[in-house]
Structure 1
Amino acid sequence: MSISKDDILQQLQRRILTMELEPGQPLDEVRLSEEFNVSRTPMRDILRRLAGEGYVQIRDQRGTVVAPMDPKSMRNFFLTAPMIYAATSRLAAQLATAAQIDDLAAIQKRFKEAVEDEAVDALVYFNDRFHFTIGEMADNPFLAPSLQRLLIDHARIGQTFWNVGSDGPSGAVREASRHHDRFLEIFAAHDEEAAVALTLEHWELSRTNIESYIRPTPLSVDIDLAV
């Protein structure tokens, strides 16, 4: 059964967002061509598209690797994310059409199903699609590339945010879902100020959980034993 280039692209995007393909991991063009049963020419085109969107890097003489995450990129992520997210949401509130809001609602339905199914990979993916679609609603060629790059790292940095414990999805995950529902209402009302306010609240929910993972409480050390 043949598979389209767009389907292959989406599968690789999803693997990168969910960390099935880890930051910095080499991608073998030949192996991928064999896996998806396509020739190397279309696979090379797909990798170029992924590079253009920020998912991978194509390095001269060293092949293709999944976009890495390093301290500098982490700093830039936390520095610029709220500004770019807020600007995107403001424009989306201005410009959203009924059809686009319907598309966003359909994605939110899938996100809610993932919450109830406790499907972490689906949570990561449909959260990314939700915010990517807000970017499409904003329809700004200057913001779009920055937003897309942010969303890639946000999905990867925030993996633990979506982890499901023995008692089911966390309160933060359910609160994020409620935020999504409110976004739909705000965009339908074209309320720009409410869109910005909710975006910053949504970012803070995510940021707090990400930082608690990146900067955990240190393990206690017995000084006498450590010397």
Structure 2
Amino acid sequence: MTQNRKSQCLDTIRQQILSLALPPGSDLDETKLGAEFGISRTPLREVLQKLAGEGYVDITQNKGAKVVSMDMAVMRSFFQTAPLVYANIARLACQNRSLPQVEALKTSQQHFKTATLNHDPAQAAMHNHQFHQIIGDMSQNCYLIPSLQRMLIDHTRLSQTFYRPASPAESALVRQACDQHDDMIAAIEDQQVETAVALTLQHWALSQDRMERFVRPDPLPVELTIPKETAHAI
């Protein structure tokens, strides 16, 4: 029974972090979590330690656990590293994929499409997470997979913005992302390495600008104008 509750607690906290129900940097109240899932302090600590090992949580001695942050340094590393990891994962996935994995990828894509058609940004982000996780597993690379898994935490949190389009043009980008997934599946299935890498980089570029908006400050609510008398001041 305790093991089932631990698994439920683990899965729920992961989902809440990825969906931003638990915001980046927020404290995790161990007393509240223990009461919510009906587990004692020791198994809860085991859950938090596992989440820390996976990159979801930071644990500081005498300060408890926090949801991993998305500060400027983290985001800088994310945007620098993501295209490198995704491109190399795609290359290895083409070379090492199995047919059952390809079928799993197609199933994940169907769920992703359904979520986008239903205008469900949280589910779209989660199924996109699963889609790229399967491609990571295809790579069979013990060094890249942990990097991908850590990156997907932030990618999934950031992509809540991408899957919540605010205009017809942004909706078109989401549809384009769906089409790119289909093309990526075909390239991986046919082991077309260079095509898969090119598509992966195009897919990254498609959503990069929208994801960057997540960490940009909103514009000021008023239009700033420069008085004529100071327009040419030095």
Please, what TM-score do these two structures have when normalized by structure 2? 0.88
Percent sequence identity over aligned pairs: 42
Change (3 A) 1:5 1:179: farther
Name the counterpart of 1:132.
133
Name the counterpart of 2:108.
107
Pairs aligned (count): 226
Change (3 A) 1:72 1:169: closer
Distance 1:25 1:114 in 2: 27
Distance 1:165 1:149 in 2: 28
Report the AA paired with residue 133 of structure 1.
I
| Structure 1 contact 118–169 (Cα < 8 Å) conserved | no
Q: Deviations over 1:143-169 (max 9, x none)?
A: 111111111111222321111448697
Name the counterpart of 1:222.
225
Q: Post-superposition shift, 1:96?
A: 0.7
| Structure 1 contact 92–137 (Cα < 8 Å) conserved | yes
Change (3 A) 1:56 1:215: closer
Structure 2 gap segments, 5+ residues each: none
RMSD: 2.4
Structure 1 gap segments, 5+ residues each: none
Q: Deviations over 1:111-138 (max 9, x none)?
A: 1111111111101111111111111111
Distance 2:205 2:156 in 1: 15
SS of 1:223's partner is coil
Name the counterpart of 2:85.
84
Q: Post-superposition shift, 1:42?
A: 2.2
User: Is 2:23 aligned against 1:11?
Assistant: no
Report the AA paired with residue 129 of structure 1.
Q
Query: After the TM superposition, which of the residue ranges 22-31 and 2-11 deviates more from structure 2?
Result: 2-11
Name the counterpart of 2:40.
39
Distance 2:213 2:166 in 1: 16
Larger Rg: 2
| Structure 2 contact 133–149 (Cα < 8 Å) conserved | yes
| Structure 1 contact 81–150 (Cα < 8 Å) conserved | yes
Change (3 A) 1:15 1:169: farther
Distance 2:165 2:216 in 1: 20
| Structure 1 contact 90–193 (Cα < 8 Å) conserved | yes
Name the counterpart of 1:155.
156
